[in-house]
Each structure stands twice: as structure tokens, then as C-alpha cells.
Chain A
Amino acid sequence: EAGVAQSPRYKIIEKRQSVAFWCNPISGHATLYWYQQILGQGPKLLIQFQNNGVVDDSQLPKDRFSAERLKGVDSTLKIQPAKLEDSAVYLCASTASRVGGELFFGEGSRLTVL
């Protein structure tokens, strides 16, 4: 079974530039999460999708971050314009949404903003 795929693995940009990350969840997984993980901290939820609908985006900085999950499969997370404090690993995770079900993470996309 293929895992959660993310790209790019690494990205370096200057502040005020834009960047986009892509995630392809495990086939059939209805729930998809984007997390931001700053070095030395636990993951922080940015947005949660159930199929192609948003369940929770309360911690998404909507003035600069956007995310979509067209057709309820893969998803993109965009940052525009980037700030220095956006330097982090952006993790995508998916689950089949069963109670107690397993949550699978991708390898993450490491963003460095200079």
C-alpha cells in the first residue's frame, strides 16, 4: 500500500515570496490534515478536510495561507506571502476516519524562509 506522498521535500524561498506544497493521501482516506511543525515542537493543525469539505481551519492564518482539496483526493497548501516565522516542516496526514483508526503521515515538506 502506497503511503502519503508529499512534495517538494525541501524548499528555500525568500520572505514575501510564495510557495505551494502538494499532498496525495492514501487511496480511500476521507480525512486529510495539514500540520505545521516548527523545530522542537509538536505538530500544529492548520486545516482538516473531510472529503473535499473543510472540518477545521481555525488555526490557519488565512491572510497568507490557503488550502484546497479538489475532488476529495489530493490537496495543496499555499503560503503567500511567506514570512520568516513560516520556516517549518509541513506535514500531511490522512486517515480513513474510523474511530480509533490509524493516522498516516507523509515525510513532510521542509520550508526555509530567508
Chain B
Amino acid sequence: KNQVEQSPQSLIILEGKNCTLQCNYTVSPFSNLRWYKQDTGRGPVSLTIMTFSENTKSNGRYTATLDADTKQSSLHITASQLSDSASYICVVPLGGFQKLVFGTGTRLLVSP
């Protein structure tokens, strides 16, 4: 079954600290994996797209890693800011027309 699982479900960290979010997938065949940030009451916004051949990709303070062998990805947030408080959703497309399999997300709260 094509699934995307994320952990933890929720996370609270202090401002300035680092954190890592996990995504495990069983989607096959695999073409790419996407991380989205969704602020409360807003639509998801893309952070990064990881293709099969990419192991690490950074976008500012966000660094995504991908291990295609173990079918795992992580999103590392460095020096967290209050504005990082959001849900982070891992998404893996299935099939040629980009049918998307969504994870349930990790809800991050950065506390002052």
C-alpha cells in the first residue's frame, strides 16, 4: 500500500533550537519527495523537492535529506524561529499524473 508516515505528530521546541522531522514512505515507483510548510489558516507552501539522486538539499535554515534505500527523509530546521511554528507535510507523488500521497504532517510549535 502506498503510504507516507511522519513523526513526531507534534513537537514543541524553544526558539533558537534545532529539530528534525521524519518521513517514511512506501510509495512505489518513486520519483521525488516534497516537503511543505503550512501555516495555520493558510495553504501549504513548498520548501523543497528531493529527487531520487539527491541526498541533501538546503533551503535557508531548512535542510532535507533523502535515503532512497531505506525510503526515509528528514527535514532539519536550524536555529528555529517563532515563524517556523507550522505544520510540515511530506508528500510523495505516485504515477505519471502526479497523484500525490500526503503524510499527516508534523505540527511544530516554537516557543519563546
Contacts and interface: CB of A to CB of B under 8 A. Distances in A.
Interface of A: 4, 31, 33, 40-45, 48, 50, 55-56, 91, 93, 95, 97, 99-108, 110
Interface string B93-106: 00011111011110
Nearest to A30: B97
Given A102-B46, A106-B43, A31 B98 contact: yes
Contact of B96 (A99, A102, A106, A110): A99
A97 B100 contact: no
Contacts of A45: 99-100
A108 B99 contact: no
Contact of B31 (A91, A93, A99, A105): A99
8 contacts: A42-B103, A43-B44, A44-B102, A91-B43, A99-B98, A100-B49, A105-B43, A106-B43
Given A100-B32, A105-B45, A56 B99 contact: yes
